[in-house]
Amino acid sequence: MAGTLSKENVIQKIQKLLALADKARNTSEGEASAAASKAQELLDTYNLTMSEVGTDEQKKGDKPKSFDGLFARNTLRQYQTSLFDGLARQFDCVCFIRTQRKWDPEKMKSKKTKSLCVVDHEADVEVFKWTFEYLLEAIERIYKVEIKAEDLECREEMGRKMTWSERREYRLSYCLGAVHRILERVRGDREERLQKDNKCTAMVLVRKAAVDKWVDENMKLKAGRCSPGERRNAGAYRSGVSAANTISLRKGVGGGSGSNKRIK
């Protein structure tokens, strides 16, 4: 594939995919995610960065910035923050959690919302965001298949449904195991690519240094735990680790098979 397309043709193809992702964002999340993921695949394959692909206006403004609220929830789970943090490290950006309180007039009390945010080059954020959303959705989708089978086993062996607390613990453990395995694969995939291209490695270090410098000059972040410790079901965790091997790291245009198998 690398020998059949010129750099200019690859850049044009990536620009079209990103334009499609932006256009489909409000109409078809699946199409937008697929286009952005395919663009990331081409960036990886040809060792390109978004600064090389963007328009002249984008390149002029390609400086580190803080992007708030990429993922906001009332409660953030450990597997969600772990995936966000792990991917941020692989994208050479800095992530943090912003907590906000808003007044709820109906309940007459303030409502706390936690948001996952990043500092990164503006041109890279969309690909990071779509990658995170795609992998999180894929992990939660395979969990839904797993929990149905697990609940059926509980009925057959114990003559009852799983309790709410059992299902919650199973979900958190299973998804955390899947996240840890996904991040291992992403890290290994990236290290393999960087080892093949010294120029690409040097470019990554320069962009990472720019992000770190921006954070030091513009933000006062304090270290802390992303989420409270959660009980872990060892069997569910192992099942999540195994199942994560079936998840494609990149969702190409056209999608995958859409089928999920339970792995014991």
- The DSSP output letter for 47 is T
Mean pLDDT across 40-56: 67
Domains of the chain, by residue range, sit at: 64-246
Whether 226 has a pLDDT exceeding 60, the answer reads: no
Mean pLDDT (whole number) for 150-179: 91
Q: Is 74 helix (H, G, I), strand (E, B) or coil?
A: coil
Average pLDDT, integer, range 42-67: 66
What was the pLDDT predicted at 203?
65
Strand partners, 115: 72, 98
pLDDT tens-digit series, residues 127-150: 788 889 889 999 999 999 999 999
Q: Report residue 215: phi and psi, to 5°.
A: -60, -45
Contacts of 20 (CB under 8 A, 6+ apart): 31, 32, 35
DSSP string, 217-229: HH-------SS--
pLDDT at 1: 40
Averaged pLDDT for residues 238-247:
93
DSSP lists the bridge partners of residue 116 as 71, 97
Contact present, 226 and 99 (Cβ < 8 Å)? no
Are the beta carbons of 40 and 129 closer than 8 angstroms?
Answer: no
pLDDT of residue 255: 38
List b or e across 56-90, with b for residues whose CB sees 16 or more CB atoms inside 10 angstroms. Answer: eebeeebebeebeebbeeeebbbbbbbbbbbbbee
What pLDDT does 146 receive?
Answer: 92
Tell me which of 230 and 170 has the higher pLDDT. 170
Residue holding tokens 């079936």?
246
**What digits encode the pLDDT tens for the residues 73-92?**
888 899 999 999 999 988 88
Q: How much is the pTM? A: 0.70
